[in-house]
Amino acid sequence: MRIIIINGPNLNLLGKREPTVYGNKTFEDYFSELQFRFKDVELEYYQSNIEGELISKLHEVGFDYDGIVLNAAAYTHTSVGLGDAVKAIETPVVEVHISNTHKREEFRHVSYISSGAKGVILGFGLKSYDLAIQSFL
């Protein structure tokens, strides 16, 4: 099984950015743990702060992979283009958020990704990624 995790803007700052919301661990360290935990899964990771690069990555992997775990971060709430890209590809997408976006600012309650996603997991910290990967197994 081949799964890619795609992270959007500012998630490259995990471990430094708002640790009370996002924790103290870098995503690279957490990704190593995921690779260890899911040894039978070919896991890849991609991160970009640029909306168009995220759309291009979805187009690139969206017909050949078994699953996509997408944390579009702030673009979740603003990008019709990312939402359209999720709907345009064949690979199922699970939308993930580290925080419970419904407990945060009201603009974070809207997702342009959800309507095209297989499912949505939010509010379980980095464990949200574990749950998303498990949903494909």
Name the residues annotated as catalytic: 22, 97
Please give the single-letter amino acid code of residue 78: T
Torsion of CA 28, 2, 68, 43, to 10 degrees: -10
Residue 94 half-sphere exposure toward CB, CA atoms < 13 A: 22
What is the residue-wise DSSP string for 47-64? E-S-HHHHHHHHHHHTTT
Classify residue 117 by its DSSP letter.
S
Structure tokens at 22: 């996002």
